[in-house]
Structure 1
């Protein structure tokens, strides 16, 4: 653990609150000292003594850094530099995980569990608007970021729209890029639902977490520009490695938030 020793100090007569100044100083110190994921940060007493601020100011600063995903505080152990989380902008664009990881400069890996053509069963057939028993291509993968398992995904696509896709190597590259370039698909919109769940045993095994650990489950149907379903997928993301940023727009001059009620004991599909 490196003791904070940066030249920057709190400016007492500044209009900028102490905790904001301290936050800037600590971020600069972290960068200057080259601290990386897992490195221990300085203790509250050390920070307080070094920069001449109260413990309450230090706690407020650390709370902001934790909320922003810069640090992680572990009870009984201390404060550590946190790992990067994948962000999902749900209202910006429709893109695959491969493109998102590339945009963040992260290495995305894919472990293919199965890929095959199978008869469509419910609810796949309903959501893809095909007849039950109609051939669909099914792809199941575990996606990893920087060598860590991050997401378990399963996709279903009507086979008639993607002839020969079952022969493709999905251990590298992007499914969505393949759909665009080889099959000429143009994406229109997607309908998605997100819920927090406890990790089932099988998914927990694939993601390297304990059974019952918090996961984010996404269910989605992707449509082309004509409103015809392209893909149905279910993804389970590790809760400690994911964050979803949602932009709220305005309808008829008013900001609106839609709520979905699920009755206790009922199925969420």
Structure 2
């Protein structure tokens, strides 16, 4: 229980108690008690409860649904480690989930100077611009915008991308495989548009990922900017000497 005379802040004590409840008694997607119920049960203020819940959300233990409440996330068992595998489809299948991709936008365009440098192209060369929502078991997980050199993938179509994984198309249709993928990560908040697509509350925390993929000849074959839900993805790094 909460020790009000302890040197440990009340919200930190509450975080520890709620984590114990989540890990020992609850399952992913179980609904949490309301702020009012937690206040009454542990005899703490609404401010203390909100601080504790914010800490749990930032740590990936819970997620919020606007107008519906707060729920336990699958963080401990099912969150994807972004360093393990850059194939969303493959990893979701490994977790026993059904991956799905919704192609929001697919268009052929001329590359601008900034993207040209990123893709190793000349300004004005053609690229495909691809916007996708990535889902697992029908739940939105990630929103991606990809830029792909058109000369490497002639006749790429929205129909192909709607039915098959991108890297599978690269390999089987164009003999292009990813040898190396460089990724950069940063913490951020979702925009209003991203919140709607990912079905999360406005101003929810997220991970932003910039990925540059190279083929066996060290030619850039894809540059992707992604927004991943922080309640469903974790980024782990192991350092060694």
Fold shared per TM-score above 0.5: yes
Give distance in 1, aligned partners of 2:72 and 2:143: 26
1:195 positional shift? 0.3
Contact 1:121/1:132 (<8 A) preserved: yes
Structure number with bigger Rg: 1
Contact 1:138/1:157 (<8 A) preserved: yes
Structure 2 counterpart of 1:209:
200
For structure 2, the residue ranges without an aligned partner over 5 or more in a row are: 1-19, 34-55, 65-69
Structure with more contact order per residue of length (Cα contacts < 8 Å, sep ≥ 6): 2
- Compute the TM-score of the two structures, normalised by the length of structure 1: 0.62
**RMSD of the TM alignment (CA)?**
3.1
Alignment of 1:168-179 (within 5 A): 168-179=159-170
Task: Figure out how many residues of one structure are paired with residues of the other and give that number.
Answer: 194
1:86 partnered with 2:79: yes
- Compute the TM-score of the two structures, normalised by the length of structure 2: 0.69
1:118 positional shift? 0.8
Give distance in 1, aligned partners of 2:182 and 2:60: 31
SS of corresponding position for 1:182 = helix
Alignment of 1:1-269 (within 5 A): 37-38=29-30, 72=62, 81-83=72-74, 85-90=78-83, 92-93=84-85, 95-248=86-239, 250=240, 254=241
Pair 1:225–1:247, CA change in 2 (3 A): farther
Q: Deviations over 1:155-182 (max 9, x none)?
A: 1110000011124332333101110111
For structure 1, the residue ranges without an aligned partner over 5 or more in a row are: 1-22, 42-65, 255-269
Give distance in 2, aligned partners of 1:227 and 1:207: 33
SS of corresponding position for 2:123 = coil
Contact 1:71/1:81 (<8 A) preserved: yes
Give distance in 2, aligned partners of 1:142 and 1:158: 21
Q: Deviations over 1:76-104 (max 9, x none)?
A: xxx965335431352x55x4211111111
Give distance in 2, aligned partners of 1:103 and 1:168: 25
Pair 1:135–1:235, CA change in 2 (3 A): same
1:210 positional shift? 2.9
Give distance in 1, aligned partners of 2:204 and 2:62: 18
